[in-house]
Structures are given as structure tokens and as C-alpha cells.
Amino acid sequence: MLAYGNVLDAIGKTPMLELKRLDAGPCRLFVKLEFVNPGGSIKDRIGLAMITAAEREGKIRPGGMLIEATAGNTGLALALVAGQKGYRLTVVMPDKISREKIFHLRAMGAEVVITRSDVVKGHPEYYQDVAERMARETENAFFVNQFANESNPRAHEETTGPEIWEQMAGKVDAFIASVGTGGTLSGVGRYLRSRNPALEIVLADPEGSVLAHYVETGELGALGSWLVEGIGEDFVPPVCDLSIVSEAVTVTDGESFAAARELLKVEGVLGGSSSGTNLSAALRYCRAQSTPKRVVTLLPDSGNKYLSKMYNDYWMIEEGFIEREHHGDLRDLIARPHAENAAVVVAPEDDLLIAYGRMKLYDISQLPVMADEKVLGIIDESDILLAVYGHEDHFKDEVAAYMTTELKIVSPDASIKSLVPMLDQGFVPIVMAGENFFGVITRIDLLNYLRRRLEGRR
């Protein structure tokens, strides 16, 4: 292969991988590694196609502004293409999108507008409505509108579909995809069906989305919420052709995250959250077959974008996807138990710079000060602030000189209620039984616990 002359030439032609270690029943399961695209996702294909088509149709002029509503990846794809072609870009995203994508977008020079994720189409603060309105009110702006832009499914019909057909040597029995806009499912599905009329097309839909129910009943069911990013819908997008779907599979967030984590452990492939949804549905489909089939699904983006979420055990525990041992007492509120070596602590002789660095790295506001398995004190942000304000050289002083030694020790069987006044006064309850230190409970730990209770989880 010769060197490319421009990053846009590296879009598409992604590898296909057979998953031989996961149990696919009588079937052979293949995944197309779309995260290999230079913008990190399958959306590069449509980013390039939609901008090229708009140029051809005279809808954008040199130096023009593009506006788009996106869960992130289309934004990144557009930023990549816009950057190379000299357009400005504003993306409007719902507020549940991971920080990695937002940092990535800003680093590529896009302007990012965050809006509500708890409202549906038609609400003035819904991300797609916000983007449309901004485009209308901005001169020389083009609303890319991937949900209704025919270049979106066409890009998949012309590139993704034929690549799959060729990589599978013309033998594909089933194709499984989730739907964000439906561009992938409709474009790839149409192409593969044109080559194999008996092809089964399976929709993988997050629980809470209305699409699986729509496929099964023809009606939009009740809308729920889900954490998997980029897929699932509250409406059927104009470019989404659900009439080609043979069967729909509903996948919970927990199943999606578990499948993605399993994929990494067993096959060494770091996929994103919708990759987990696709894989979970594909494995379920494969295992339910009674005859051998060649099955294809996609890994739309990389797990790199979700390292702080589904690949982070603490996040998984906080969200209730990983079950910890249940004690029925205050130990259940400790986010970072000492017994798991998870408590972030400092030693009394460490300097304040070290304490500050750990707080920043772990995004926490206080640290137990420990020596020989004993808690000697607590150092928090305000202790450090008071120490170094006007005396920056004190960053080099020992923690022991500034830590609080007035400790609030609570036993595991104390009540949750007893924590509230301590937290209110700025203390950090330390859970101990005798000499045995279990961990600390912070305000956010208690908030997380109460939120889990609200949702019926422990």
C-alpha cells in the first residue's frame, strides 16, 4: 500500500475481523473495525460524503459555516473534513456525551454547544432543534442534518456495504446494526440485500429507545433513557428505513457494557459502547441459530472514548453495573474501599504538591493521611489553599503540618442520617471498626448512593 497524500484518503477501507474466541454458537461472527477511521469512527464516511455533496450542490461556499446536531462522532468527522477543506463548524450535543469527545472536538477547532439530553424532538432545547434554529439564524450557514441527509445512507451503500461484501467473499447471511440516524443500517442493509435477497437484517436497539418496539408493532412505544452513546432514538429519522429490518433485538446498557468489556478481554479489541450493543445482539442472534450462518456487525467507534465511563470500574459501580459485595451498612457507601487498595491516600511526610496532584488526578477534594495502616488525619483542598496562599513555597511542606487531626470516625453500623451534619460542616466521615479502616464517605459518594436508591438499585 502506498502512502496517502491527505488524511481524508484514509477514510474507509477498514479491516474485518472474525471473532473466534467468543461463543457464536453454530455461526461465524465478523466485525468491521470502523474505529480505524482517522476521526475514530464510522461517521468519517458520512462526514466526507455530506460535505462533498453539499459542495457539489453549491450549498456551502469557501469559508462557510457548518452546523450539526450530533452525539459526537459525526461532529468529529465533520471537524476532520471541515478542517481539511477550510470550513468552520459548530456542533450541538446533548449533555450526556463523554468528555473525551468534547475535548477532541474542541482540539479540532470546532465550537461546541451543549444542550439538554432530557427533552425530546420538538422541544426548543432538543439538540436537533437547537442546531436547526442556529443554522436558520446564521448567515452563510449550512445545517448538515445527518438525520435527513440522503448522502448519509448513500455513503454506506457506496462504501461500507461493498467493502463488507468483498471482505466476506460474497457470503453474508445476516447483518446486525444499531441506529443513530439509521444511515448505516439502511445503506449497508440495502446494498447487502441487493446482493443477497435472503439476507437477514437485525436491528440492535438500546432498551429505552422506541425503534425495536416500532419494528415489532409499527407503533412508537414509551421512551426511556439509556447510557450507550450514539444510538437509540425517540423518533424514526427520515433516512432510517426500518422496512428492511427482519428482526429487532433490545439490549440493556448493562449487556452492552459487559459485551464491550468481554470483547476487550477475550479478543483484545477496544470497542465503544455501541460496539457492545451490536456485539451483544449479534452474539444473541448467533447463539439462537440452528444452522451455521456468516454474520457481520460493526464496531462503530473505539473504547478510547469511554475509558472514564464503561471501562472505569468505579463508574460501573456507581452506575450499578458492577455489583460489589453488599454489607447492608455504611461500607456500601464507600466508593474506594481500603480493602481493595482503592482508597487514595497520602503519607504524613508527603509534601502538599503530592497531595494536590492526587486530588487533581482522581478528581477528589480530600485525602486520608495514613501511616502503618492508621489514619492520622485528613487533608482537603481548603487545608492546602490556606497553607499555600501567599506562601507558594509551602507546596514543598509536609502534609502532616497542615492536615486536620480532628477526625469524624463512624462505625459501619452508624446511620446514614448521622453523616449529613458532618458532611454539611465540611468533615469527611471515616468508616472504622476499632483499628480497622474501611474508607471515607464523601458528599458525592452519598449523592451517588441516594441516586441509586431512587432508581431502585441499592
The nearest distance, CB 237 to ligand PMP, in angstroms, is 8
Residue with cell 440522503: 150
Q: Cβ closer to ligand PMP: 73 or 366?
A: 73
Q: Is residue 231 part of the contact set for ligand PMP (CB under 6 A)?
A: yes
12 forms part of the interface with ligand PMP (CB under 6 A):
no
Q: Which three cell numbers stand for residue 33?
A: 473495525
Query: Closest by alpha carbon to 306, among 278, 274, 341?
Result: 274
**Residue from 73, 98, 442, 448 in contact with ligand PMP (CB under 6 A):** 73
Nearer to ligand PMP, 27 or 179 (CB): 179
- Identify residue 165 by its one-letter amino acid code: W
183 in contact with ligand PMP (CB under 6 A): yes
Query: How many whole angstroms separate alpha carbon 242 and alpha carbon 182?
Result: 8
Interatomic CA distance for residues 52 and 64, integer angstroms: 13
Could you tell me if 408 and 416 are in contact, meaning their C-beta atoms sit under 8 angstroms apart? no
Q: How far is the CB of 272 from ligand PMP (least distance, A)?
A: 5
* 8 A C-beta contact, residue 446 and residue 440: no
CB of 1 to ligand PMP, least distance (A): 27
Using DSSP's 3-state secondary structure scheme, residue 236 falls into: coil
In a 3-state reduction of DSSP, which class is residue 17? Answer: strand
Q: Which stretch binds ligand PMP (CB under 6 A): 4-12, 86-94, 162-170, 173-181?
A: 173-181
Strands, E assignment, 95-129: 111-115
Print the binding letters for residues 307-346 with ligand PMP: x by CB under 6 A, - otherwise: ----------------------------------------
Q: Residue 182 interacts with ligand PMP (CB under 6 A)?
A: yes
CB 440 within 8 Å of CB 368: yes
Question: DSSP 3-state assignment of 136?
Answer: helix
Out of 115, 159, 178, 280, point to the residue binding ligand PMP (CB under 6 A): 178
Verify binding: residue 274, ligand PMP, rule CB under 6 A.
yes
Per the CB < 8 A criterion, the answer to whether 195 and 168 are in contact is no
Q: How far is the CB of 318 from ligand PMP (least distance, A)?
A: 22
Report the chain's terminal Cα–Cα distance, integer Å: 54
Shorter beta-carbon distance to ligand PMP: residue 183 or 429: 183
Q: Which region among 108-116, 161-169, 228-236, 318-326 touches ligand PMP (by CB under 6 A)?
A: 228-236
3-state DSSP call for residue 378?
Answer: strand
**Catalytic positions, written as ranges:** 43
**Site size for ligand PMP, by CB under 6 A?**
19
Q: Which of 71, 263, 283, 286 binds ligand PMP (CB under 6 A)?
A: 71
Please give the full DSSP string across 347-377, using - where no structure is assigned. Answer: -TTSBHHHHHHHHHHHT-SEEEEEETTEEEE
The residue among 43 and 338 lying less far from ligand PMP, judged by its C-beta, is 43
Nearer to ligand PMP, 200 or 205 (CB): 205
How far is 70 from 105, CA to CA, in rounded Å?
Answer: 11
Least Å distance, CB 305 to ligand PMP, is 8
| Amino acid symbol at 432 | M
Provide, rounded to whole angstroms, the least separation between the CB of residue 184 and ligand PMP.
Answer: 3
Angle made by CA atoms 84, 86, 89, in degrees to the nearest 5: 95
Which residue from 14, 90, 145, 181 is in contact with ligand PMP, where contact means CB under 6 A?
181
Reduce the DSSP state of residue 147 to 3 states and report it: coil
Applying CB under 6 A, among 161, 206, 232, 272 the residue interacting with ligand PMP is 272
The binding site for ligand PMP (CB under 6 A) comprises 41, 43, 71, 73, 178-185, 229-231, 272, 274, 300-301
